[in-house]
């Protein structure tokens, strides 16, 4: 039996445990809600996390394909990028999977001599974390762009209200003398 078979056999246990440790990164009240509410319309964050980790897990089993794993990563990372997480906290949930796998399968891995295969699985998790970092940075850049645009628009509206803008004659507006 290969490690992939063990991971497939214990898929539900591993995913549940991974979901639980991921929820521990949230405040207690939020974690309780995300765990308890199963309706995807009432709990879109919990739903996105559940579907996302399931897809990521399958990509780890099948071999990392950036086109296949990116949408699953994107669903989770978009959420975590706008929350009060540092980059390491936002992406750390991926590395938590290594501990979950070891926790659930360590005895069987040791007994069957699957240490090398475990290393391969952990390398896939690392590869996915690198893809996740790129997605995270794209999300953060988009957030900063949106904030800068909003600040610029807000400043312009304030200047306009104070009659400190004028038409420059070429369609551009600027601050008056």
Q: How far apart are CA 103 and CA 69, in angstroms?
A: 24
Residue 174 confidence (pLDDT): 52
Asked whether 128 and 64 are in contact (CB, 8 A), the reply is: yes
For residue 155, with 0-12 CB atoms within 10 Å meaning exposed, 13-18 middle and 19 or more buried, which class applies? exposed
Q: Distance between CA atoms of 114 and 135, rounded to whole angstroms?
A: 32
Global pTM? 0.80
On whether the 3-141 domain is CATH 1.10.490, my answer is: yes
What burial class does residue 107 get, using C-beta atoms within 10 Å of its C-beta: 0-12 exposed, 13-18 middle, 19+ buried?
exposed
- Predicted local confidence at residue 145, as pLDDT: 87
Closest CA to 65 of 116, 118, 131: 131
CB atoms within 10 A of CB 100: 20
The low-confidence residues of the chain, meaning pLDDT below 70, are: 1, 167-177
The domains of the chain are located at 3-141
- 173: helix, coil or strand? strand
């Amino acid at each position: 039996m290969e490690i992939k078979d063990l991971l497939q056999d214990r898929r539900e246990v591993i995913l549940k445990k991974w979901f639980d440790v991921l929820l521990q990164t949230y405040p207690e009240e939020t974690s309780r809600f995300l765990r308890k509410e199963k309706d995807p319309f009432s709990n879109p964050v919990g739903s996105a996390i559940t579907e996302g980790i399931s897809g990521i897990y399958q990509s780890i089993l099948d071999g990392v394909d950036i086109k296949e794993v990116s949408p699953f990563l994107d669903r989770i990372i978009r959420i975590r990028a706008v929350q009060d997480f540092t980059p390491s906290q936002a992406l750390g949930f991926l590395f938590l999977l290594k501990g979950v796998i070891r926790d659930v399968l360590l005895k069987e891995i040791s007994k069957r001599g699957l240490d090398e295969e475990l290393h391969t699985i952990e390398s896939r998790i690392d590869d996915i974390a690198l893809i996740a970092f790129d997605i995270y940075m794209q999300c953060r850049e988009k957030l900063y762009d949106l904030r800068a645009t909003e600040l610029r628009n807000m400043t312009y509206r304030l200047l306009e209200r104070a009659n400190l803008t004028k038409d420059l004659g070429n369609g551009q507006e600027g601050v008056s003398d």
